[in-house]
Homo-oligomer: A and B are copies of this chain.
Amino acid sequence: MTEYKEIAISEFFEKNKHLLGFDNPTKALLTMIKEAVDNSLDACEEQGELPEINISIQNPEGSTFKISVEDNGPGIPRQYTAKVLAKFLYGSKFKSLGEAGMQSRGQQGIGISACILYAQLTTGKPVHIDSKTKEEKMYSCDLMLETSKNEPVITNEKYLETKKLSGLKITLEMKGVYRRVKGVEDFLKYTSIANPHAKITFIDPEGNKVLFDRGVDKLPVRPKPVKAHPHGIELGTLIKMLARTNSRTVFSFLINDFSRVGTQSAKEIFEESNLEAQMRPNAVTRDQAEKLLNAMQKVKLQRPPTDCLSPIGEAELIKGLKKEYKAAEFITASSRPVAVYRAIPFQVEVGLAYGKEMFSEGEKTEESEKQAETAELIRFTNKVPLFYQQSECAIFKAVVKTPWKRYGVPQSNGSLPTAPLVIVVHVASVWVPFISEGKQAIASYPDIIKEIRLAVGEVGRKLQRHISAEHRKYAHERRMKVFEKYGDEVASAISNLTGRKKPEVAEVINREIQKRRE
């Protein structure tokens, strides 16, 4: 007889650890740091605290690494600590389709539990937690994850004295491989570029201390929760929202539960749909909901508000690029207005640095040699750098589909342009659709690819103007050189013809050439 049973999500992820970013030991170590830092930054910003994060990676023996990540965030109240950290799909940041949400780094309630699971899978050891909230004493415990039930197992619970006001510290041991380039250190460097308000201290496995200091002393404006936008919503979601709403009429439901629907647009939706505005939401049939949905799509509405998002900003992108690429001869950036996919607001920002000498300074690594040939693409989502699965990412796809030749830069089909270019793309969204739970690449939703292409096109055109101006300058210079070359002969000839002294004639000619050069 076939045996049917329920499967715990933790058993599923234990077997599918590659979905969570733990498919090889280098990536595993980076994923661990990334998940912890993402959570710390989110927590500090939520608390209104300037983030101060201390990271340490030790390598006591072989491939075992002892890692600790400590922040000055709000900590987690004792009754939630274990579940938030060691239970999959448990947390504060996930919002259902149709629920109001705002931009944050974590969004799934999966990442940090995955780290704890991976530590226990590779070393068999529990993870040590110290959590201090402002209200409680410091709570300290060891955590494992009972995978057959998706429940945390708590041992060694203690309450400790500390001078710390609040914060969370996670200490764990796991197997891994440490890599500096495009590894933990680069991840922290890029994180610091996109989050200049954070102070990050890192002690690497060799004991070197690296400080990524604060560039600004002010927190970015906190994004505000935003309701679903009527454009792009699906029928199933609308039906679910109708069933769940607290609004008494469909009319008030439209105004209360959606973004950018006011009395006027609600009226227009009802005119378009031929429905009764005063009917109760839970009395709406499937067919009526379909009519309502079609009307919602047709009525013209404002774009979603921008305050649900926290972009890096054009000026900051340019500043960051200037700092990192001092030899760049041209730097620009461009921000698109907020757009919508599946009723979810998102915004694309692109920065670009160009310069023939850009990659030649500094240490010559194999990496930098390669970069000198192909443009470098740096991807961010919600201010988090992405290092893996580049070729599957909507950002990469949009950038390679951009007609770079038109902007004066060579490019072979389906590849990044071949030029000394750095392209930075940031996609900020209330909900970023990643291609897997490991959150390393954005899924190829056409609306998202389109916006990225538009943004890249904007900086591309600016680059093209720079390159043409450069070409014109060279052409002009070449012309001037020709005049100079024959200036002496022309002076002799004119001197012969007119009888005036050659040096005088030459001086006039040279003066004219100089004038045109300026």
Interface residues of A (CB under 8 A from B): 2-9, 11-12, 14-16, 18-19, 23-24, 46, 74, 80, 83-84, 87, 89-92, 94, 96-97, 108-109, 117, 120-125, 147-148, 234-237, 239-240, 286, 289-290, 389, 391-392, 431, 433-437, 443-446
Contacts and interface: CB of A to CB of B under 8 A. Distances in A.
Contacts of A240: 147
- 7 closest A-B pairs by beta carbon, nearest first, are A121-B236, A7-B89, A18-B443, A124-B286, A124-B235, A4-B80, A7-B94
A261 to B, nearest CB: 21
Nearest to A87: B6
Nearest to A81: B4
22 contacts: A2-B46, A4-B90, A5-B90, A6-B87, A7-B91, A11-B96, A11-B97, A14-B97, A14-B237, A15-B97, A18-B435, A18-B443, A18-B445, A19-B436, A23-B445, A121-B234, A121-B235, A123-B236, A124-B289, A124-B290, A389-B392, A391-B391
Contacts of A90: 4-7
A123 B389 contact: no
A389 B235 CA distance: 28
Contact of A148 (B74, B96, B117): B96
Contact of A9 (B5, B9, B92): B9
A120 B18 contact: no
B89 A12 contact: yes
A14 B122 contact: no
Contacts of A123: 235-236
A234 to B, nearest CB: 5
Given A3-B92, A7-B90, A11-B94, 20 more contacts: A2-B46, A5-B92, A6-B83, A6-B87, A7-B94, A8-B89, A9-B9, A12-B89, A12-B108, A15-B97, A18-B445, A23-B433, A24-B446, A121-B236, A123-B236, A124-B235, A125-B286, A391-B392, A392-B392, A436-B436
A7 B109 contact: yes
Contacts of A446: 24
